[in-house]
């Protein structure tokens, strides 16, 4: 849900620590993301409520998501979970693409999507955002 909500990379997901969730300001801090850069992304109330339920049940110590031995999840483990429960044909990275596509379809400015994605170049963001047929059908042509 977090990957889809703000378009996290799987490496960013597994590196999330409990202290990275700021429920007072409704933000998630992504540390040492791709390119060794940090960024801040919004935290939705729905995700916060899910995280609170998760925390009560699993009581993680350092990393937000860990296995039964309190070890950090691996990228491969996350991929396997995604393939088992969501789609055996796609990868977890698909959630990132879907997030940005849905933000674009909801008329979110491309510069905001770029900031959430952590892209330096807007062309990278434009590649990620797949324009759906639904959005194309809403375009009002001048003539």
Of 93, 97, 102, 115, which is the active-site residue?
A: 93
What pLDDT shows up at residue 132?
60
> Could you list the pLDDT tens digit for every one of the 143 residues in the chain?
999 999 999 999 999 999 999 999 999 999 988 878 899 999 999 999 999 999 999 888 889 988 777 778 889 999 999 999 999 999 999 999 889 888 888 888 889 999 999 998 888 887 766 666 666 677 777 87
Of 39, 85, 97, 128, which is the active-site residue?
A: 128
Residue 52 known to be catalytic: no
Name which of 90, 96, 74 is nearest 3 in CA terms: 96
Helix ranges (H only) for 7-141 are 10-14, 45-58, 75-85, 94-105, 110-117, 122-128, 133-138
Residue 128 known to be catalytic: yes
Q: Are 7 and 99 in contact (CB under 8 A)?
A: yes
3 state DSSP class of 87: coil
Of 34, 37, 52, 138, which is the active-site residue?
A: 34
Please report where in the chains the tokens 């047929």 appear, as a residue: 133
What pLDDT shows up at residue 17?
95
Residue 25 known to be catalytic: no
Reported pTM: 0.83
What pLDDT shows up at residue 21?
97
Residue 97 known to be catalytic: no
């Amino acid at each position: 849900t977090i990957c889809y909500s703000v378009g996290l990379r799987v490496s960013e997901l597994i590196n999330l620590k409990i202290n990275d969730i700021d429920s007072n300001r409704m933000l998630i801090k992504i540390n040492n993301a791709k390119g060794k850069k940090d960024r801040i992304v919004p935290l939705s109330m729905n995700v916060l409520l899910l995280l609170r339920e998760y925390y009560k049940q699993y009581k993680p110590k350092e990393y937000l998501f860990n296995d039964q031995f309190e070890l950090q999840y691996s990228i491969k483990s996350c991929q396997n979970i995604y393939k088992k429960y969501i789609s055996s044909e796609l990868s977890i990275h698909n959630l990132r693409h879907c997030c940005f596509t849905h933000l674009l379809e909801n008329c979110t400015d491309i510069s905001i999507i770029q900031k959430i994605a952590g892209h330096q170049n807007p062309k990278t963001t434009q590649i990620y955002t797949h324009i759906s047929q639904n959005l194309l059908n809403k375009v009002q042509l001048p003539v």
